Amino acid sequence: MNNKAAELKFIGIVESVNELSKIRIFQEFCEGLQNINDFSHLIILYWFHLRDNEQERNVLKVVPKRHKNAPQVGVFASRSPSRPNPIGLCIVELVKIDGCILIVKGLDAFEGSPIIDIKPYLPEEFVLNAKAPEWATHKQA
């Protein structure tokens, strides 16, 4: 296996982030949205553009900031935006589609974040018996 870099095409951009966020899909990819409104939720893959530098891409250990009392862990055991490939993933509710604009709820990207891909969320993708360490859950005291 070679270590050749792959080509990545951004398909859109996050235009605004609020309770309802706006994602603009570039015109050349807009027809790929056909029938997306048949799904209530989407998986959004985006680029952590504010972390796309050599220093952040070399981070291999982190203390997860959003979790009180979290231990230092490997970056692949965290949701840190500092990582070798700064890719973010978020499941959002699709509220409305207007041409090439998606209005979504629950987006955790920043304004200006490039969109890498969109996939429909399927209900059977829910993992019932998934486990995580206590520090990573929101059930902490």
| CATH number of the domain within which 19 lies | 2.40.30.70
> One digit per residue, pLDDT tens: the chain, 141 residues?
667 778 899 999 999 999 999 999 999 999 999 999 999 999 999 999 999 999 999 999 999 887 778 899 999 999 899 999 999 999 999 999 999 999 999 999 999 999 999 999 998 888 888 898 888 876 544
DSSP character at residue 6:
P
pLDDT value at residue 26? 98
- Same-domain status, 36 and 101: yes
Q: What per-residue confidence (pLDDT) applies to 1?
A: 60
Q: How many domains would you assign to the chain?
A: 2
Residue with tokens 């570039």: 26
Residues 99 and 78 in one domain: no
* 92 domain residue, yes or no: yes
List the domain range (segments joined by +) for residue 74: 57-84
∠ CA 130-51-107, nearest 5°, is 50
15 and 39 part of one domain: yes
